[in-house]
Amino acid sequence: MEKENIEEVETTALVKVAETDKSFAIEGKIDNWEDFFCDDKNFIPIVKFVKTRAEGLVADATTKDGQIARKTLAKKINALVKEIDNAHDAVVKELKAKPNLVDKVRKHVKDSLIKYKDDVLAPIKEIEARQAEIVEIENLPAQGIGCDSAGIKMLLERLLVMAKTPEYWKESAKDAESAVIESTRQLKDMQASAEKAEAEKRELEELRKHKEEIERAEREKHEAELKQAQEEAARLAKEKEELEKKAREAEESKRKAEEEKEEAERKANEAMDKLTEDQRKVVDSPKVEPLFQEMEREHKRKVNNEALDAIAKMDELLKLTEGDVEDAKSVAKAIITAIVKGKIPHVRMMY
């Protein structure tokens, strides 16, 4: 069945709306707001009242008085909305607190019942706890298997702490006494066996160390003698190698000197062969030496100027001098001068 329209259902009004100049307010006594909110029919008088006021309002929204009238009615309706919201929030808060209250009551009852249950079982649990201690005493020798004498001693000390008075053991006193006696006997036997085995092991260890010391001394002596012989052999081999190296170096120096001499003579002869008859006369004549020197200087100036022009026209240099050609030439001249004077390692002019 579809939900009925809240404005059309007739119901007995529990509340009505009181109107003042400034606001609307809910009037009427509500004993249980939670039940009130659970049925939307309870709000029919409120909705009808507001609907009547809203639909019956005669106010021209284009005029100032009309705007005031509409805003005043809206403000009154909003006050009614806030009142309903506040009532709703109080109901929700109370509903949210109920689960916590239910849990609190349940926990209190549960804790009380569990306490009484534990009280009923307490004597049995005490007996079971004492019997568990006796079982632990009986199992101590098994824990000592594989332990050294120190470990077994710790188990005996633990047994001594666990061996309490008959008043403590109550109904299990005889079982406890029997377990303590038997575990003590087994642990002491195990301790004696462990101490004997450890003594034998120490004796064997001392013999082994003594034997190792003798063997180490003999080995160190042999290694020292071998090392001395190897060092002597290496020294003699090194001396022989140095002598052979010096002989090879002397022979190589002699060979290179002869080759350099032959190469110089060959180049001189080739140069003479390339000269014309007139050039040979000039070379043979001491009087023309200044001419050759001037030609050589002119040739060097030409090479230097060509290198200077090439460097000055490089894009990278022009970028550095921002396109100033004169500055580029000055930098290029400084570079050529440094090369000619040998100030730049591994770089020289080819004339």
Are 90 and 33 in contact, with CB atoms under 8 Å apart? yes
Are 138 and 179 in contact, with CB atoms under 8 Å apart? yes
- Read off the pLDDT band of 3 (50, 70, 90): very low
Give residue 341's pLDDT.
75
Question: Amino acid identity of 161?
Answer: V
C-alpha closest to that of 310 among 296, 291, 288, 329: 329
Helix/strand/coil percent split, the chain, to 5:
80, 0, 20
Helix (H, G, I), strand (E, B) or coil at 287: helix
139 vs 291, higher pLDDT: 139
How confident is the prediction for the chain on average, in pLDDT? Answer: 80
Quick check: 91 pLDDT over 60? yes
Residue 348, phi-psi category: left (phi > 0), alpha (psi -120 to 50), beta (remainder): beta
As a residue count, the chain comes to: 351
Helix (H) or strand (E) holding 322: none
C-alpha closest to that of 55 among 72, 75, 40, 70: 70
Rg of the chain taking only CA atoms, in angstroms? 60
Q: What is the pTM for the complete model shown?
A: 0.36
For 9-21, the pLDDT digits (tens) are: 344 567 788 877 7
Interior/surface letters 149-188, b for 16+ CB within 10 angstroms, e for the rest: beebbebbeebeebbeeeeebeebeebbeebbeebbebbe
Which tokens is 178 given? 């029997």
Lowest mean pLDDT among 29-38, 172-181, 252-261, 269-278: 269-278
Q: Report the distance separating Cα 132 and Cα 162, nearest Å.
A: 12
Segment 293-321 shows an average pLDDT of 73
Q: Report the distance separating Cα 28 and Cα 311, nearest Å.
A: 108
Give residue 13's pLDDT.
62
Q: Report the distance separating Cα 239 and Cα 193, nearest Å.
A: 68
For 252-279, the pLDDT digits (tens) are: 888 887 887 677 667 666 665 664 554 4
